[in-house]
Amino acid sequence: MSVFKSTDGTTINYEVSGSGEPLIMIHGINGNMRMFDIVKEQLADKYQIITYDVRGHGQSDRPLNFTIDDHIDDCLDLISYLELDKAHLLGYSMGAYIALGLAVRYPRKVDRLILVGGKAHTTVSSFARLMMQHRDEVKDKPKKEVTQLLSRYIFYNKEKVDGWQKTIDDYSEMDANEEAVAARGIIGFDYRNSLTKLPHQTLLIAGRHDQLNPPIESQYMAELIPNSKFIEFEYSGHAPLAEEPKRFAEEIQLFLDRQ
């Protein structure tokens, strides 16, 4: 693993493996680069895989405040630091918001775009919205129990997700304050008016059983992005990369190999 300093001086931890066209993978909220370990080896045979801990997560610096604009700038800084003309971007959940934001603002830095479990805008966090939908179930429950209760609406194959989550937590965990800062950092973006102008070949992936960012969010984007394809994973919730990892890697390879 290596580090670089973003434009505002934040230390960002990153890792490069494999060789070929660069593919930057951006992880989800409260996670870290280890989220992609489950599929990285399959993809590193053909691509230079670049993963990193976004600010506030993993082994990167954890500022007291940051926004999605900071996340976008960090990814742009990483592309510049590695002296890449452009790169394929794969964003998962929060990472999809960051990847989409970068593609909208700096389209020439992005080759092909892969958005997994994402959406085009938000006014409240997806988890807060899910809590409101199931408020009678989670009322007066401690946060850990709330998370466990709501996981049935987020994931389909809980056993696979639990093993995946342990790998992530063993690498780095976040406390409640850090999670709150991270959640505030991705509120209030809206890229809906830019979707029809995206020039990139775009793949959108969602799990059929995902109630955190339901498939309809990805379908909506696919209908507006001119050169896009939507795939729904039948046996997945919010984490198709962990719930159906073999198919996930295969679909990514097929998309990136397509002429």
pLDDT at position 3? 98
pLDDT at position 98? 98
The answer to whether residues 30 and 53 touch, using CB atoms and an 8 Å cutoff, is no
Task: Kindly compute the dihedral angle of the four CA atoms of residues 213, 187, 84, 20, in this order, to the nearest 10 degrees.
Answer: -20
Residue 151 CA to residue 237 CA, distance in Å, equals 10
pLDDT at position 7? 96
Q: Rounded to an integer, what is the distance from CA 251 to the centroid of its chain? A: 16
**CA nearest 119: which of 197, 53, 31, 188?**
188
Q: Three-class SS of residue 40?
A: helix
Q: What is the pTM of this model?
A: 0.96
pLDDT at position 243? 98
CATH number at 2-257 = 3.40.50.1820
pLDDT in tens, the chain (259 residues): 799 999 999 999 999 999 999 999 999 999 999 999 999 999 999 999 999 999 999 999 999 999 999 999 999 999 999 999 999 999 999 999 999 999 999 999 999 999 999 999 998 889 889 988 998 888 888 878 888 889 999 999 999 999 999 999 999 999 999 999 999 999 999 999 999 999 999 999 999 999 999 999 999 999 999 999 999 999 999 999 999 999 999 999 999 998 7
Q: Domain spans of the chain?
A: 2-257
